[in-house]
Amino acid sequence: MSAILAAAANPAVPTRSMFESLLAGGPLMFPILLASFVMFLIVFERLISLRRGRVIPRLFIERFLLQLREGALDRNEALERCEDESCHVARVFAAGIRKWGKSAVEVEQAVLDEGERIANVLRRNLRVLNGVSTVSPLLGLLGTVWGMIQAFNVVASSPATGRAEMLAGGISVALITTATGLLVAIPALISYLYFVGRVDSLIMEIDHFGQELVSLVSHEGLEDRKSTRLTIARRKAA
């Protein structure tokens, strides 16, 4: 870290711009800045991908389930409707529709299996975000330790006069990497926790609608609705 050596040799550290301060942190600043760039990319991508309208469009769900309750869709029409939609919940519905008329256990298992795959898609890149929040402060600490070692070496080989000022200047530069690592890690951790909570919330909603679909397309659900319609027709006829 040449900047640390210069700071240790010259106790009067000049005022630096932000860019110059970042460069003063040494070579370990580059992986930290790269981690920050990755973090911003993932946050931007997840904000778009985890929009409720993209995962669970309310209008599609309400219309689809209402038409199933009223018997306005048969198996092929319902499956075609799901395949025409690009949202994640439509894939879960399609998995259940393919088991149309089977037992509730079979339909529910198909919904759960597809839901698990959707959950993995929704959690994509969150591990990387968590990794950024973990690795960034460690890189910053490593940069600080390395810079302080160099600063102490410079002080040890210098005359006694002005050693305190030289050491203070070298340590102040060395601490830049730790500060930068924390500045990257803190928003990365906050973003990770936010997205984990959002994914869990979306998964719970998908599971709720999936269970409702099971009660509509399983053999037991179809028989119950058929029996209910017959009962209503008899009452009207009477």
Specify whether 88 is located in the same domain as 145.
no
Q: Are residues 91 and 188 in the same domain?
A: no
Q: How many domains does the chain have?
A: 2
The pLDDT value recorded for residue 7 is: 43
Same domain, 132 and 191: yes
Residues 115 and 231 in one domain: yes
77 and 166, same domain (yes or no): no
Cβ distance 173 to 1 under 8 Å?
Answer: yes
Same domain for 132 and 31: yes
**Same structural domain, 135 and 179:** yes
- pLDDT tens per residue across all 238 residues of the chain: 444 444 444 444 445 555 555 566 567 788 898 999 999 999 999 999 999 888 999 999 999 999 888 888 888 999 999 989 889 999 999 999 999 888 889 999 999 999 999 999 999 889 999 999 999 999 988 888 887 777 777 666 666 555 556 566 567 667 888 888 999 999 999 999 999 999 999 999 999 999 999 988 888 877 777 776 666 666 666 6
Q: Are the CB atoms for 173 and 13 separated by under 8 Å?
A: yes
- Give pLDDT, residue 40: 94
Is 112 in the same domain as 219?
Answer: yes
Q: Where are the beta strands (DSSP E) in 73-165?
A: none
Same domain, 99 and 214: yes
Separation of alpha carbons 231 and 68, rounded Å: 19
Task: Write down the pLDDT at residue 17.
Answer: 57
- Asked whether residue 162 falls in the same domain as residue 58, the answer is no
Q: What share of the chain is helix, strand, coil (3-state, %, to 5)?
A: 80, 0, 20
**Does residue 70 share a domain with residue 185?**
no
DSSP, res 124: T
pLDDT for 165: 60
Write out the residue range of the structural domain in which residue 33 sits: 2-50+126-200
Helices (H) and strands (E) in the chain, counts: 11, 0
Q: What's the pLDDT at 137?
A: 92
- The pLDDT of residue 169 is 59
pTM over 0.85: no
- Residue burial 18-33, b: 16+ Cβ < 10 Å; e: rest: eeebbebbbebbebbe
Number of other residues whose CB lies within 10 A of the CB of residue 110: 20
The whole-angstrom separation of Cα 96 and Cα 89 is 11
**Pair of tokens at residue 112:** 């759960």
Residues 25 and 134 both lie in one domain: yes
